[in-house]
Amino acid sequence: MSRDILIAPSILSADFSRIGEEVRAVDEAGADWIHLDVMDGHFVPNITFGPDIVRAIRKYSAKCFDTHLMIAPVDPFIEAFARAGADRIVVHAEATIHLDRTLQAIRALGVKAGVSLNPSTPEQSIAYVLDYIDLVLVMTVNPGFGGQKFIPAQLEKIRRIQAMIGDRDIRIQVDGGVTPETAPLVIAAGASVLVAGSAVFGRPPYAEAIAAIRSAQ
């Protein structure tokens, strides 16, 4: 299935002293989604922000708030992020014991659901929940920090996930080390949503940075 390529700048790499303005800036620069990396200092070795920040920046963009929860346990926080303005909540397969139940809880709140896989997690872990999601996020770095180098071994995982998806309406997203140089590789493997942090916020003007990634096919 051929899909348009969507660019989701990660505000993890934005200037947090003016985070609302940064969200508006990438929105106006052509971002398709706004990617929110939520980290807890437990599941990953970093702490970012919680639902109050999501609520505060919601007014700066009407675009999809693609909310990536790198937290464990994750279930107690799902409703708070949904109420704060998340349009999609992506949870890690590794962060919940009952993934099926977690995804049903997200959908019950009227929010789209996705699953993320760490680099060492096999794609088979999502085989039985594909009918509950609209997105699979493949981590192409180890989660926790921006600016890491792309892990090439994840390209084969993307290909295998694409085969698993078949004709389901599910997008594959990649997060980590996405640049104009790596974008063609993940797109060729089957990804259609590219999360870019430093490749956007670290390379102003943002419109040119986003266009460079989008055109690198």
Residues annotated as part of the active site: 37, 175
- Backbone φ/ψ region at 102: left (φ over 0), alpha (ψ -120 to 50), beta: alpha
* 21-25 long-range Cβ contacts below 8 angstroms, 24+ apart: 21/60, 22/201, 23/57, 23/60, 23/61, 24/60, 24/61, 25/206
- Geometric angle at alpha carbon 200, from 120 and 83, rounded to 5°: 70
Helix 206-214 and helix 19-28, axial crossing angle in degrees, nearest 10: 50
